[in-house]
Structure 1
Amino acid sequence: MEKESLNKKWLEGRLTEEEQIAFDVIEDNELLKQIIDKAPAFSASNFSEVQDVEILKSKIKSKNNLLNKRNWLVPMLRIASVFVIAFGIYFLFFFNNAINIETAIGEKRMVQLPDASEVMLNAVSEITFNKNTWADKRELILEGEAFFKVAKGSTFDVVTSIGKVSVLGTEFNVKQRKNLFEVNCFEGLVAVSYKKETLKLLPGHIYRILNGKISSDTISNKEKPFWINHTSYFKKVPFHEVIKELERQYKVVITVNQKDESLLFTGGFTHKNLEEALESITTPLKLVYDMESPTKISLHHSE
């Protein structure tokens, strides 16, 4: 029987006894038997299908992209970390050594700064400054309203959440209340910075930003702000700002029925008598007030 035929029948398991004897004497049958014996070890599951290869390629590409991004981000993160650390050091140094002074409702307070400059704080106002660095940098943070008499010297900066005021030596008033920023110059020259613009303010002039809108005006009292003498004065100011100021000077809550946001007020009120103050702001606008309790007041139009 031919060798190829015996091999085929052996693989198929169909050899007879005579054929098996003939197959055993074939010189290379031992190699064939070893190949067959080892074949089960080569399992198809150890090889990837086309789909698996494509997924692998995708993962390798994704990983390379991530590595490229990381290579780009590493120097950027290092730079950012330098700024964060620097800001953190400044923040910790400034505020750990900061002096904070604030006033309550109806309270006014005179503060003398390290260079003998004076700050008069109006009610519900606050300043923060660093005494240790004051000789090198005259800067303070203001929230509320204050009148400044600045001793001559290096630049003096008043920083608020809306704008910044810079002077060398002068007298001026700064008010920052929520969406209102107002600077009154009484002496010298005041530089007011808002966003990217700077304006020089002369004595007797007012620079005002209300809800992002800029306006200017003049003041009649060129010596010092009215509130220092326990009187609040307003010129073409929204009435709701007048109400808020009255609430700061007196421990009261005022409700205005039928609000008119466009209503402007010119006039003032005293800080020493609540009923007189209420008469001063209601009479010009033909309003009446009701004292619902010692601390709760409502305003409405007269019938």
Structure 2
Amino acid sequence: MKTTKHNDDVFLSQWIDGQISDSEFKDIVGDKDFISYKKIVAGIGVYEQLQKPLDHTFEKIKEKIKSKNKTRSSIKTKNLYPKIALAAAAAIVLFFSLNTLLKTHDIEYVSNFGEQKTVTLLDGSEVIMNAKSQLKYHEKDWKQTREVFLEGEAFFKVAKGKTFTVVTHHGTVTVLGTQFNIISNAGFFDVLCYQGKVKVASNNQVFIIAPNQSIRYNNGVFENKTLNFLHSNPTWMDGESSFRRVPLSQVIMALEKQFNIAFNSSNIDESVLFTGSFNNKNLNIALASVFETVNIKYTILDKKILLSP
């Protein structure tokens, strides 16, 4: 919210009293917040007061309104009390709703461009995040759920214990104690198992994969493959990003995350499948490794790469 806490109370009283219109109040608090405030006839200023005794909140709102309506008749003031009561009662609903929302993702980790970030979870499980990835979990519910939320790519070394679940936009991955890698990007989902067994649930389908197996979702199609891994962990952890029959669009996205650059790829076919790797430390070597392999020309223009057939 853009207004100060004091102004929140004033604007709230003015809105309840009809001194300012819905459109004016919307301009003050913003479209997104107004939708919620409209339903509960209260603002964030009231929510903040709920941590104090409710009767104190009720009296404060009344005092605010009275200070703004000294010239109004006592009948008019009495008529406002039901509205004030509604605001106070509704604010209770807001308190519990926002309290739940704010606890939805207590802990959050974000890796930057070209960065790997290692996170140790509360149970001792270790997560190594690839560049431009995000990991969240509920600290309060951790012991009961062992559940994390992932966007991007990460390698998991899960400590033995209760079921451990990784939630992504494309599906969930459930294990007990194992090691696996997940990629969850726009339109692409890939899970590789290195140790133990992994259950993948996505689009009403369930897959169980063992070491040296992977499950991939690309363009609406699932692929279940058995592979011959040459490494005990993903190669990106050692400075090299490797791909096996991956759409070029995903390779370009990986380059953007590693080197903080943008691509103009409107003139090429991004659905072409790429198998190969690129160095995570040297942009020139990385570009040559990828685009010379698929016979695509590239031109470096400051922080932007122009691709052409």
TM-score (norm. length: structure 2): 0.66
Say if 1:206 and 1:219, in contact at 8 Å, map to a contact too.
no
User: 1:1-303 counterparts in 2 under 5 A?
Assistant: 88=97, 91-92=100-101, 94-95=103-104, 98-217=106-225, 218-256=227-265, 258-293=267-302, 295-301=303-309
Q: Distance in 1 between matches of 2:283 and 2:98?
A: 47
SS at match of 1:284: coil
C-alpha deviation, 1:153, in angstroms:
0.2
Cα distance change of structure 1 residues 272 and 261 upon mapping to structure 2, 3 Å threshold:
closer
String of CA shifts for 1:160-196, please: whole Å, max 9, x gaps. Answer: 1111000000000111001111101000000000122
- What is the one-letter code of the residue matched to 1:193? A
C-alpha deviation, 1:257, in angstroms:
5.4
Cα distance change of structure 1 residues 90 and 198 upon mapping to structure 2, 3 Å threshold:
farther
String of CA shifts for 1:216-242, please: whole Å, max 9, x gaps. Answer: 222533411111111111111111111
Say if 2:268 and 2:307, in contact at 8 Å, map to a contact too.
no
Say if 1:204 and 1:222, in contact at 8 Å, map to a contact too.
no
- What is the one-letter code of the residue matched to 2:204? K
- What is the one-letter code of the residue matched to 2:154? A
Q: Distance in 2 between matches of 1:114 and 1:243?
A: 34
Larger displacement relative to structure 2 (191-200 or 170-179):
191-200
Percent of residue pairs identical: 38
SS at match of 1:242: helix
Cα distance change of structure 1 residues 248 and 258 upon mapping to structure 2, 3 Å threshold:
same
Cα distance change of structure 1 residues 254 and 219 upon mapping to structure 2, 3 Å threshold:
farther
- What is the one-letter code of the residue matched to 1:198? V
Cα distance change of structure 1 residues 107 and 282 upon mapping to structure 2, 3 Å threshold:
same
What is the total number of aligned residue pairs between the two structures? 215
Cα distance change of structure 1 residues 118 and 159 upon mapping to structure 2, 3 Å threshold:
same
Q: Distance in 2 between matches of 1:199 and 1:90?
A: 36
Q: Distance in 2 between matches of 1:253 and 1:110?
A: 26
TM-score (norm. length: structure 1): 0.67
Q: Distance in 2 between matches of 1:228 and 1:147?
A: 9
Q: Distance in 1 between matches of 2:210 and 2:98?
A: 38
String of CA shifts for 1:48-80, please: whole Å, max 9, x gaps. Answer: xxxxxxxxxxxxxxxxxxxxxxxxxxxxxxxxx
Q: Distance in 2 between matches of 1:270 and 1:168?
A: 33
- What is the one-letter code of the residue matched to 2:179? E
C-alpha deviation, 1:261, in angstroms:
3.8
Say if 2:267 and 2:307, in contact at 8 Å, map to a contact too.
no
- What is the one-letter code of the residue matched to 2:153? E
Q: Distance in 2 between matches of 1:226 and 1:234?
A: 10
Cα distance change of structure 1 residues 274 and 202 upon mapping to structure 2, 3 Å threshold:
same
String of CA shifts for 1:179-214, please: whole Å, max 9, x gaps. Answer: 111101000000000122211011111110012211
C-alpha deviation, 1:90, in angstroms:
8.7
C-alpha deviation, 1:152, in angstroms:
0.1
SS at match of 2:119: strand
Q: CA RMSD, aligned part only?
A: 2.0
Larger displacement relative to structure 2 (108-117 or 257-266):
257-266
Cα distance change of structure 1 residues 288 and 89 upon mapping to structure 2, 3 Å threshold:
closer
Say if 1:203 and 1:222, in contact at 8 Å, map to a contact too.
no
Cα distance change of structure 1 residues 260 and 296 upon mapping to structure 2, 3 Å threshold:
same
Cα distance change of structure 1 residues 288 and 152 upon mapping to structure 2, 3 Å threshold:
same
* Structure 2: stretches of 5+ with no match in the other structure: 1-92
Say if 1:232 and 1:271, in contact at 8 Å, map to a contact too.
yes
